[in-house]
Structure 1
């Protein structure tokens, strides 16, 4: 762990954050059960949506964490960045997969990560519909509902399913060559509408990896910790220039297909 984490009680934050995310999950599910009544707003394109549920869930997470760790900072999809008085920065996506959420599809999650300095040290992804809680903390491995998980051990891209995502912030040329190459190698893919959920699935070995040509940090930060602690590989997302403000490509993979997927995507 880097020097920036010296003196930070990561274990206490890990334990508290797991409770907070579960509480946030109950709030989100209450909204999901009455989704027809929600006011939905649109961002830059018709598929990029936000609801009152997103805003309220993020507010709940911030309030509950700040109540115990008032000096910590926050970066959230809906409420932006609020630098704290120490090196801790909580990175929050209150509902990753909002388009699925508002269209009554269950593939959405709550994603919370903690950065200490420039290192991601806690990753929590909770999928309330299936009641699956993926959790990881630096040096402690990764779990789902308390049971250890491991990244896929397959050694060929046609031996499992690849997760993919796409954003209209980049053109189709950023994804189509990879998809063509994957299919030509007799591989298969899935897109379920939530980057964080697919990264959790990759950490659990259900997918061989996940690729998205451009992604924001709140979508993938928890998944990075999960994948690392599950024995998988991640590209240098955290080393990208101004990554907290601008985002970057993300690629995670099982250890034995990481090299070929890096070559196929051009992501290092």
Structure 2
């Protein structure tokens, strides 16, 4: 089924309202969270009550508004389809659980083989990022763009860590980046790390493995803000996760060399969609 522009307009308007409603729930949960017990899904993989509450809310609202669309959430799962909402109810849960105000909600809408819409909300700062394919990216309604950094010695990048890849690979990538002359940070919230590349606060973000709910909205934002990314959907990322790279053009090659993640040279389509790969000039 092909989604037309009018149908996408409706989802765009819906998403702009939905992300704000979800942010209210997340902020209420954050204010209650201090000192509360948290669970572990795995090593350094936290789960709070708010994760489930926000995801349930999003799942129900989307099902009511667009019952024909699929849903894929970090906590409750789901199945990718021709049209699917991909949701992380709380990204940066380790921060959230320790009352560190650096977390967000990330929502992406995928249709026609590409990420069409993306929204990220930082409830504590009242920051709302939004992007639509081929229509740019905004922060609180104002257009944003990646940084114009060209000198790596003046750059600052973020490198996320994943236990799905060998620790030695992560250490090697970070060492290469430091040796290249950049500053490397880690803030434990990949979706916001990508948003900060889109608005120029950070010059690049990379992680050797990310799940789709953590990165699809942010990758769209970086591309729409003039940045460079690696392939994710075409690398099978919607089903299995994949490496993520997003950068200002001036440091993209350095990030790619350090991480081993290739740079994308065209539109990132889902594999086997029957859609022709578009190439940029």
The interval holding the TM-score normalised by the smaller chain is: over 0.9
Residue in 2 aligned with 1:113? 108
Match of 1:255 in 2: 249
Q: CA–CA distance in 1 between the matches of 2:161 and 2:123?
A: 24
What displacement does 1:176 show? 1.4
Matched, 1:156 2:159: no
TM-score relative to the length of structure 1: 0.93
Any residues of structure 2 matched to 1:22-41 within 5 Å, and which? 22-36=20-34, 38-41=36-39
Q: List runs of 5+ in structure 1 lacking aligned partners.
A: none
Name stretches of at least 5 consecutive residues in structure 2 with no aligned partner.
263-281
Alignment of 1:178-257 (within 5 A): 178-241=173-236, 243-257=237-251
Give the whole-Å Cα distance in 2 for the aligned partners of 1:61 and 1:139: 25
Give the TM-score of the pair, scaled to structure 2.
0.89
- How far apart, in 1, do the equivalents of 2:217 and 2:96 lie? 20
CA shift digits 1:184-228 (9 cap, x unpaired): 222102211100001000000111110101111100010011011
Aligned counterparts of 1:192 and 1:53: Cα–Cα separation in 2: 20
Q: What is the number of residues matched between the two proteins?
A: 262
- SS class of match (1:205): coil
Distance 1:38 1:246, change over 3 A: same
Contact 2:80 2:238 in 1 (8 A): no
Name the Cα RMSD after superposition: 1.6
Q: Give the match for residue 51 of structure 2.
A: 54
Shift of 1:182: 1.4
**1:107 partner SS:** coil
Q: Determine the structure 2 residue equivalent to 1:21.
A: 19
Q: Distance in 2 between matches of 1:101 and 1:48?
A: 12
